[in-house]
Amino acid sequence: MVSSKGLVCLFASALTRDAEGVFWLVTPTEIGHVEVEDVPFLAVELFHSAPGRDPVISLRTNVDEIIAVDGDHPVFVRSDPATDEILPYVTVRPGLDARIVSSVYYELVELGVTETIDNAHIYGVWSSGTFFPLGRLEDEE
């Protein structure tokens, strides 16, 4: 007997997104449109290897996929147009992202540092040798 978590993981592995942004479940015998409200996955757990500029941050999704934050799997933030709330994400696969849950985002923020980029103070995290901005800091007067 397959568990419901097993079915979710199976369907997640068959999920794709086309160039127009439409989500599809693609199996060897069928294809079907899937409606996704925001993103199909959640990042629910964080792991990190070391402080400083050489760490590797990894995130576990709700379908037990482990994603090392790097150039192919960036962390990024978007502003919710309705609430102006900052929403953090990580790319799981091309075209498929996971929203980082609040508790994991707080852990991520604790690992953050301030860098100066183009004369602006940017707060973000280092992972896999790359800096991932989380937000811009206001200059102190």
What single string gives the DSSP state of each residue in the chain?
Answer: ---HHHHHHHHHHTEEE-TTS-EEEE-SS-EEEE--SS-SEEEEEEEE--SSSS--EEEEETT--EEE-BTTB-EEEEE-TTT--EEEEEEEETTEEEEEPHHHHHHHHHT-EEEEETTEEEEEEEETTEEEEEEEPPPP-
- Candidate from 3-7, 70-74, 123-127 with smallest mean pLDDT: 3-7
Model confidence at 50: pLDDT above 90 = no
**pLDDT value at position 92?**
96
pTM (predicted TM-score) = 0.85
Q: Which domains does the chain have, with CATH numbers?
A: 1-36 (no CATH), 38-136 (2.30.270.10)
Burial letters 70-88, b for 16+ CB under 10 A, else e: beebbbeeeeeeeeeeebb
Do 133 and 125 touch, CB atoms closer than 8 A? no
